[in-house]
Amino acid sequence: MLTFAVRRLLLLIPILLGLSILVFLFVRALPGGPETALLGERSTPERIAQVRAAYGLDRPVHEQYLSYMGKVVKLDFGTSIQTQRPVSEEIARRFKATLELTGAAILFAVLVGIPLGFVAGRRPQSWIDNLSTVGSLLGIAIPVFVLGYLLKYVFAIKLGWFETTGRQNVAISTEHPTGFFVLDGIITGDLPAAWDAFKHLVLPAIALGTIPLAIITRITRAAVQEVSNEDFVRTAEAKGMTKSVVTRRHILRNAMLPVVTIIGLQTGLLLSGAILTETVFAFGGLGSFMASSVFTRDFPVIQGGILFIAVVFVLVNLLVDISYGLFDPRVRNA
């Protein structure tokens, strides 16, 4: 298991090298550069040349790349042109928001999706199965921004249960030791702050969690249905095990194998791609930050951000594979 993990981590090196070259070339192939965003389109050529020189953009691309990678190796990702603060700091701060949002979304998807998929799989063609099928298809089909605005309109504006935008009421000033606002409130004992952060978190988490929810429901349903027909379930029944033991120990445990993989893959996706949800709810996470960096041609942020997301994606997948071994002894011993 350890050599497996190490091998997978070593694989990161070629992935990151290749990706860094691609990203480096891509951002420079975009029309316009950071100078246009900084100075506007009517600036003088002299000012533009000055800014380009200041960021080293006047040098040949391979030179820029080598000097960039030289710094990256020392974990220095440069300074954001937009905010003039270190890229690593900006990413770290916003990534916590994304992590909190993703965690809540996946939690929502798992807590609803697995029981729903389980019931649907045990009773195929029942009303609850049909409901989950239609719901899943709808969940996958509806665009996130439509769902986001719909949720906001109904649950925040009409009913007033939750908040529309942001992560916490700006009037609340509280400590943020972890950067996860709900957790911070609980840790510091400031429960009203935690509650406020929670009310901000619910709607974006549901909007973001809908597609994973639909996928997890479908996969769970299929897996439960398949495992229910396995011979070993019949054996458990023949042994006279109680219904709940047959269900939990024999069906659910085996059915969870494919579901774990899907949860991991979806987590990886959400961590890197919550741009729409974060924008609709002005959540201030990594996704919306990356999107705005593309508009302002903030090269260091785009480059650093993509490399960071790649690392996260590979790590999440590694975790999925390792956890697979925990669930399935056949993988563990292979």
Partner 1 sequence: MTRVQEQVDAIPGRGQGAAPLLEVRDLRVTFKSRGRRPVKAVDGVSLDVAPGATVGIVGESGSGKSVTSLAALGLLGKRGVEISGSVKFDGDDLLNMPEDELRAVRGKEIAMVFQDPMSSLNPVLTIGRQITEILERHRGLKGQDARDQAAELLLSVGIGDAVRRLKSFPHQLSGGMRQRVMIAMALACQPRLLIADEPTTALDVTISAQILELLRSLVVDSQTALVLITHDLGVVAGLCDQVHVMYSGRIVESAPRRALFANPQHPYTTGLLASVPRLDQPRGVPLLPIPGSPSDTLPWVDGCAFAPRCTRRVPESVGCPPALLPLEGSEPSHLVRCVNPVPEDHT
Q: Which residues bind partner 1 (CB under 8 A)?
A: 230-232, 234-243, 245, 249-250, 253-254, 257, 327-330, 333
CB of 267 to partner 1, least distance (A): 23
Task: State the nearest-atom distance from the C-beta of 249 to partner 1, in Å.
Answer: 7
Torsion 240-244-250-251 (CA) sign: positive
Report which residue type is found at 148: G
Q: Which residue has the tokens 């669930």?
A: 327
Q: Give the C-alpha separation, 2 to 170, whole Å.
A: 46
Q: For partner 1, which is the closer residue by CB, 263 or 276?
A: 263
Of residues 70, 64, 72, 108, the one with CA closest to residue 91: 72
Shorter beta-carbon distance to partner 1: residue 71 or 253: 253
Q: Give 159 or 238: the residue with its C-beta nearer to partner 1.
A: 238
Query: With the CA atoms of 230, 232, 233 and 238 taken in that order, what torsion angle do they form, in degrees rounded to the nearest 10?
Result: 130
Q: How far is the CB of 239 from partner 1 (least distance, A)?
A: 4
Closer CB to partner 1, 132 or 254, in the complex: 254
Min CB(115)–partner 1 separation in Å: 20
- Whose Cβ is closer to partner 1: residue 183's or residue 233's? 233
Per DSSP, the residues of 165-178 read: SSSS-TT-----SS
CB of 258 to partner 1, least distance (A): 13
Q: How far apart are CA 17 and CA 309, in angstroms?
A: 14
